[in-house]
Amino acid sequence: MPNIVVIGTQWGDEGKGKIVDMLASGMAAVVRFQGGHNAGHTVAVGKDEYKLRLIPSGILHTGTICLLGNGVVLDPEAFCGEIDGLNERGVEVNPERLRVSRKCHLILPYHRILDQARESYKGESKIGTTGRGIGPCYEDKAGRCGVRACDLEDPDLLRKKVGLALAEKNALLTGLYGQKAVTEGDVLDKLEALAPRVIPYLADVSAEIARVEAGGGEIMFEGAQGVHLDIDHGTYPFVTSSGTVAGNASAGSGVGPDHLHRVIGIVKAYITRVGSGAMATELADEVGEYLQKKGAEVGTVTGRKRRCGWQDLVILRESIRLCGVSDLALTKLDVLSGLKEVKICVAYAYKGKTIQYPPQAEKGLAEAVPLYENLPGWEEELGSIRRFEDLPPAARNYVRRLEELSGRPISMVSVGPDREQTIRR
């Protein structure tokens, strides 16, 4: 049975939550492999709306096991809060249905405080992070001084590691950033209270995946953020601190690359970005405002307005290349209704040349000028359409042109937030 990797091909917020939720039905397991509660997946089920941050969307489907792989960074407080929130709404979350890798690194209070202090210290040149402590936690992982989920089972080791970490963090917090020192008690008291709740969820996620596969079950690997926020391939330094490309589904969950059979790229009908960093097709005009309002483009985690722009094939082509995308799911096509004309950026003019792939220099994207193809728009609202042939001709034309320009089939088109508002092709 084929396993699927689902990734966002832009700067996150492509509407992955809905697609992943739809694909999850029938999956034996859904695995997150990177990021943390900086992600925000909104899933609409009838009149109910769920905002998931850390827990995979598979949790809304009984019979599907959800796994957090070793590549995820776990804030124990946020994790327990999300479980409580779901349980209160009648979604059963327990260690039978949700397992967390013992190798996950923990986001601790000093990571969050450092993230926020560093951002305000940087002023104009800030990254625009979600302020959840993601970067500082991955720094500790790479610096080999991180605290892992399995350390919750070893209180002596936990105390020793937190003490050592605080000596360094407090020097920075008080010396450079003018913050109050964090005490060992602040951190350990919290962890002591949370540990009995988190420990029952801990598992060997790689072995869990192997067990599910041995039983003939299909697995979905659920990416968070988007390819252009990848720590290596994204628009550095305005990126997140994890690998968001499809290949990281392997390293971030403990399976060989031969277990990743199909890669679905989620692409929104236009493009958005939150936080700092250039976006070549950004619209600072009434069309950008139209997309922002009609698309309700507000960050799930931080409540920030997302910047909006035209579809950018340079960005999409790069994601297809970096991730081996097999097919695309197009989201929010309904938001484009009412525009006289829709534009697709097909290439950039950059330093006197026409280029098909994004420039790699730090200031490259800010200096690139988008070259557009203009297509006719359509007036009709699309929310009730369920068959591709029932779309207005101009909307069909737009979808087909994206397929031609990307070289990939669009297997799903989403025309509204609800599970039902989807055209499968």
Catalytic residues: 13, 41
| Longest pairwise C-alpha distance within the chain | 67
Burial of 83 (0-12, 13-18, 19+ CB in 10 A): buried
Q: Which two tokens stand for residue 282?
A: 């950004």
Q: What is the 3-state secondary structure (H, E, C) of 303-369?
A: CCECEEECEEHHHHHHHHHHHCCCEEEEECHHHHCCCCEEEEEEEEEECCEEECCCCCCCCHHHHCE
Report the nearest approach of ligand IMP to the CB of residue 81 (Å): 17
Cis bond upstream, residue 136 (ω within 30): no
Q: Is 416 left (phi over 0), alpha (psi -120 to 50) or beta?
A: left
Task: Decide if residue 240 touches ligand IMP (CB under 6 A).
Answer: yes
Give the CA distances from residue 285 to residues 26, 291, 292, in Å, rounded to whole numbers and listed in that order: 43, 10, 11
- Closer to ligand IMP by Cβ: residue 241 or 326: 241
Using only C-alpha atoms, the chain has a radius of gyration, in whole angstroms, of 22
Question: 307-309 and 311-312 as β-strands: parallel, antiparallel, unpaired?
Answer: unpaired
Report the nearest approach of ligand IMP to the CB of residue 385 (Å): 28
Build a one-symbol-per-residue string for 207-226: x at contacts with ligand IMP by CB under 6 A, - elsewhere.
Answer: -----------------xx-
Report the nearest approach of ligand IMP to the CB of residue 40 (Å): 6
Report the nearest approach of ligand IMP to the CB of residue 41 (Å): 8
Report the nearest approach of ligand IMP to the CB of residue 275 (Å): 2
Residue nearest to ligand IMP (CB): 275
Interface with ligand IMP (CB under 6 A), residue total 20
- Closer to ligand IMP by Cβ: residue 102 or 233: 233
Which residues, 130 to 189, sit near ligand IMP by CB under 6 A? 130, 132, 134-135
Report the nearest approach of ligand IMP to the CB of residue 141 (Å): 14
Which residues, 95 to 134, sit near ligand IMP by CB under 6 A? 127-130, 132, 134
- Closer to ligand IMP by Cβ: residue 237 or 409: 237
Between CA 188 and CA 157 the distance in angstroms is: 12
- Closer to ligand IMP by Cβ: residue 158 or 224: 224
Cβ atoms of residues 55 and 80 within 8 Å: no
> Which residue do the tokens 């989403």 mark?
414
Which helix (H) or strand (E) segment holds residue 8: the answer is strand 4-8
Between CA 318 and CA 341 the distance in angstroms is: 25
Residue 236: which of 130, 362, 126 has the closest Cα? Answer: 362
Residue 91: which of 56, 118, 117 has the closest Cα? Answer: 56
Which positions ≥6 away from 385 have C-beta within 8 Å? 391, 415, 423
Build a one-symbol-per-residue string for 249-288: x at contacts with ligand IMP by CB under 6 A, - elsewhere.
Answer: -------------------------xx-------------
Burial of 268 (0-12, 13-18, 19+ CB in 10 A): buried
Build a one-symbol-per-residue string for 9-48: x at contacts with ligand IMP by CB under 6 A, - elsewhere.
Answer: ---xx------------------------xxx--------
Q: Which amino acid is at 293?
A: K
89-97, 105-113, 236-244, 310-318 -> range binding ligand IMP (CB under 6 A): 236-244
Report the nearest approach of ligand IMP to the CB of residue 59 (Å): 17
Q: Which two tokens stand for residue 2?
A: 């084929």
Report the nearest approach of ligand IMP to the CB of residue 238 (Å): 6
Contacting positions for ligand IMP (CB under 6 A): 12-13, 38-40, 127-130, 132, 134-135, 224-225, 229, 238, 240-241, 274-275
